[in-house]
């Protein structure tokens, strides 16, 4: 039997305006879930959602991140003034912004 668990929530997509790229997305699940059969009719119980050990089945929400499956992958960034280069990940951009050139104190660009 095929049954569906429908979770209400929202998605936060983080965008770096200087680079014109999305750097991260997160799915935030709400507390409300609906359960349906494959025809879309509501289920009266969630007894069908048992794993092979008899516990309530759980599947984490895993979204693919921008820039590929690994947001810790380093990219080459370059200073537009002195051409200084550095490795910087999309996780670092999402957490603290784009790299700053230590010589010119300006925002570096994706090389
Ligand atoms: Zn520089």
- Cα–ligand 1 centroid distance for 108 (angstroms): 8
Q: Which one, of 28, 33, 41, lies nearest residue 58 by Cα?
A: 33
- Cα–ligand 1 centroid distance for 16 (angstroms): 20
- Cα–ligand 1 centroid distance for 84 (angstroms): 5
| Winning range, highest mean pLDDT, from 9-18, 47-56, 77-86 | 77-86
Q: What is the pLDDT of residues 21-76, one digit of tens each?
A: 788 888 898 988 999 998 999 998 888 898 889 998 888 887 777 766 677 889 89
Q: Supply the pTM of this predicted model.
A: 0.55
CA torsion sign for 16, 17, 22, 27 is positive
Copy the structure tokens of residue 50. 């048992």
Integer CA distances (angstroms), 66 to 3, 13, 40, 109, 110, in order: 30, 9, 32, 17, 14
């Amino acid at each position: 039997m095929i049954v569906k668990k429908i979770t209400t929530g929202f998605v936060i997509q983080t965008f770096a305006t200087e680079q014109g790229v999305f750097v991260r997305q997160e799915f935030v699940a709400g507390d409300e879930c609906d359960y349906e059969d494959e025809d879309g009719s509501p289920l009266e119980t969630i007894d069908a959602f048992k794993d092979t050990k008899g516990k309530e089945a759980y599947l984490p929400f895993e979204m693919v991140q921008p820039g590929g499956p690994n947001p810790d992958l380093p990219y080459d960034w370059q200073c537009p003034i002195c051409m200084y280069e550095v490795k910087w990940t999309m996780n670092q951009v999402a957490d603290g912004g784009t790299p700053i050139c230590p010589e010119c104190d300006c925002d570096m660009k994706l090389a």
